[in-house]
Amino acid sequence: MSSQDNRLDRNPGYLVNDVARLLRREFDRRVKHMGLTRAQWFVLAHLYRNDGRTQRELADELDMEPAPVGRLVDRLEESGWLRRAPSPADRRANLVYLTDKIVPLIEEMRAAADNLYKDAFKGLSPKRVEDFIEALTIAKSNLIDLGAEEVGDAFSGADDLHRIQRKAAKNEAKR
């Protein structure tokens, strides 16, 4: 590995993490006037994509412990932006739903996110942005697959390369 390969500014893990951090920071700045914390808008965004989740499912999806998610849901419910309803499948659980009151705020957040992405990717062609998104999608899928494997199986070199190439070819064929 050359010294050039060790530079953080060319390290994919560092870059993905740093770009995500900068996107979050800029998004926070752009929506600060709405009065939501990052954790609150994160909960709202996840429910917007998949409304009617249990708090446990929401905690798992957000990579958080259930107690802090419960406190976030409490505050959002007090604001009238969420409501809890008994789960028909499990009488011990409640499902969490967005209320109509939050929909205009979510739409404003989505518009802010769209504008942020336009600004962040300024200077890149739509094709390059789409290729970048496709690369991240493939990497995410590969990492999910690796997480489901036994640890010893995750390092099988040539087999991994073939699996990745097959997945990339399948994704390319879908386009």
- Convert the pLDDT of each residue in 19-78 to its tens digit: 999 999 999 899 889 888 888 888 998 999 889 999 999 999 998 999 999 999 999 999
- Convert the pLDDT of each residue in 108-167 to its tens digit: 988 999 999 999 999 999 999 999 999 999 999 999 899 887 776 555 555 666 666 666
**Torsion, Cα of 21, 83, 80, 114 (10° steps):** 30
Kindly report whether the global pTM for this prediction surpasses the value 0.75: no
- pLDDT of 147 reads 85
| CB distance 42 to 52 below 8 Å | no
| CB distance 101 to 115 below 8 Å | no
Rounded-to-integer distance, Cα 112 and Cα 118, Å? 10
Q: What is the DSSP string of 20-66?
A: HHHHHHHHHHHHGGGT--HHHHHHHHHHHHS-SEEHHHHHHHHT--H
Class of domain 1-120: mainly alpha
99 CB neighbour count, 10 Å cutoff: 13
More confident position, 169 or 24: 24
- pLDDT of 148 reads 83
Tell me which residue has tokens 């789960």: 87
Q: Is the per-residue pLDDT at 1 higher than 50?
A: no
Angle at which helices 126-148 and 158-174 pack, to 10 degrees?
140
- pLDDT of 130 reads 96
Percent of the chain with pLDDT over 70: 82
- Convert the pLDDT of each residue in 2-16 to its tens digit: 555 568 788 899 999
Q: According to DSSP H, which parts of 63-152 are helical?
A: 66-78, 103-120, 126-148
